[in-house]
Each structure stands twice: as C-alpha cells, then as structure tokens.
Structure 1
Amino acid sequence: MRRDDRDDPFDDLFREIERMMNEMMGDDFDMRVERGENGGGQTGFGTETHVDIHEADDVVRVIADLPGVEKADIDLKCDGETLTISAASDHREYDERVRLPAQVDEHSATATYNNGVLEVTFDKSEDSADIDVQ
C-alpha cells in the first residue's frame, strides 16, 4: 500500500516550520540551499557540518566543523565579503561560501584548526571614507 502524503497529520506543521524558516532566513533561502550556498546541496558542508558566524564590534568569527579533515587539506580564501572554505578528507570534499555579516579586512585573518573545528577571525574594515563634493 502506497502512503498518501496528503493524509500526513504533520504536513501542516512542517509547512508552517518551513514558512517560518524561510521568513527568518530570507525569501531566497531555498534557492541558496539548492545552489549549495550556506549549508546545502549534496557536496560541501550540507547537513553533516555546522558553520557558525559571530559578529562583535570589531571582529567577525567563523567557526566550522570539518570532521576527518587534515589541517594541510584546508584552503581558505576571502575577498572581504565572502569566505570560501575548501577542504578534503578521504571520504568527502567540502566547498562552502560563507557571506560575512560585515565588510572585513581579509589581510587581518587568523585561522586555527583543532580537533576538527576550524575558527577564522577577521578584523572588520573601517567604514567608507567621507568624500567632500567640491
């Protein structure tokens, strides 16, 4: 006998949770997940890896779980707005693009990797310079 999803008593609950998550994460959240951005897709971090972003007055910290990855196999790149984390283990390849909550000085980055946890810290960039109109 085939299960009919329309008879699922939790269907309305799951739809409401999905609606609230989309509202909280922004309307384009489903599209970002489908493209593999910020924790989605078949490769990359997906559901097995957790990425946290913490913003303070003068720094931005990104913490990512990379289970089974050797430090030498981690490649980090930043353009001041997006951090790209690429890593490989014997079983998986990770590729994550994390949009940072503020403009950062990519040259100030420091990174540590300990027991499968990557932590990258950036100084925030100074505000844009004022331009006098003459």
Structure 2
Amino acid sequence: MDLKSLIPFAVGAGSDRDPFALMRREMERMFEDWGRGVTVASGFLSPKVDVSETEAGLEIHAELPGLEPKDIDLELDGDVLTLKAETGSVREEKDEKRKYHLVERSKGTYLRRFQLPFAADEAGITASFDKGVLTVKVPRAQPAERPSRKISISGS
C-alpha cells in the first residue's frame, strides 16, 4: 500500500500545503510566543532585561507587565542589586444559564540579581516605572580623593 495516498491533498509531508505540517508549525510558534519574555529558573520567573554600562554607570531596563511600582522591591547588598516582584491575577467567569463557573489564578515571583562591575554610588541610584518597564540607573561611586604627601628619602 502506498502511504502517500493517505496524506490529504496528495502532497508530501512538510509541504506548505500539508495541513498537518502547517498546524505543527503554528503550534510550535504559539509555544515560542507564550514563553517569550519570561523564563522560569528554580521556581522564580525571570523577566527580560536589557543591561548597559555607560560612562556614568549601569542602566537596567526590566519588563514587568501587569505590575505596579508597589509590587516591586529593589535592594542593593554590597555589589549585588536584587530585583524582586510579586505578580498575581484572578480571572473569574460565571454563566448561570449554562451552569458553569470558571476561576483562573496565576501567581509568581520575579527574581533577578545583578553583580555590579564597579563600586556604586548608593545614594545616587534611581528607579522609575512606566508602562510595565522598570528602569534602574546605578551611578559609579567617585573614587575617594587622597591628598598627596611628600615622602622623604633617607640615605647613607
């Protein structure tokens, strides 16, 4: 028996006209899109970030959609900047005519830690949140000024 005769529309597998191949590609694209932007590591959500180092210091942009500034914690401990945020949502639907009730809940914790490549000016760190994007600016600490000192040289 020729198996090609069982394929719809008599086209080869993987062809652009093969409905099963098209469905598989569409499902793969859907799962890629679903996971884009957030990865899960050790039980925590890891948001997408852009980190750039400038002459002034470090600039971090983190995508935190659906959150409010009150949900976000930033902490500097030594040379490690920690970003932590709690997310949670509830969607509820009811239809008394059809007798169904649906509640969908999701909850998670975003967590990212950044090792600073320089000493930071702790008092100068700023953070702003606009349209789901957190922007953190970490300026470099100014090196401590040490006065110069004349050193005497002893000789024989």
More strand by share: 2
> How does the TM-score come out when normalised to structure 2?
0.51
TM-align CA RMSD = 2.5
Deviation at 1:131, TM superposition (A): 9.0
Match of 2:10 in 1: none
CA distance in 2, matches of 1:51, 1:120: 11
Q: Pick from 73, 81, 84: which aligns with 1:75? A: 73
4+ residue runs over 4 A deviation: 128-134
How do 1:1-134 and structure 2 match up within 5 A? 41-46=41-46, 49-90=47-88, 91-127=107-143
Tell me how far 1:44 sits from its aligned partner. Answer: 2.9
Query: Unpaired runs of 5+ in structure 2?
Result: 1-38, 89-106, 152-156
Counterpart CA distance in 2 for 1:119 and 1:126 is 22
Q: Percent identity?
A: 31
Query: Aligned pair in 2 of structure 1 residues 94, 51: CA closer, same or farther (>3 Å)?
Result: same
Larger radius of gyration: 2
Uncovered stretches (5+) of structure 1, i.e. residues with no partner: 1-38
1:130 CA drift (Å): 5.5
Alpha-carbon distance, 1:73 to partner: 0.7
CA distance in 1, matches of 2:108, 2:79: 26
Q: Which TM-score applies when normalising by structure 1?
A: 0.59
Residue by residue over 1:81-107, the C-alpha shift from the partner in whole angstroms, topping out at 9 and shown as x without a partner, is 111111011021112211122221121
CA distance in structure 2 between the aligned counterparts of 1:101 and 1:107, rounded to whole angstroms: 17
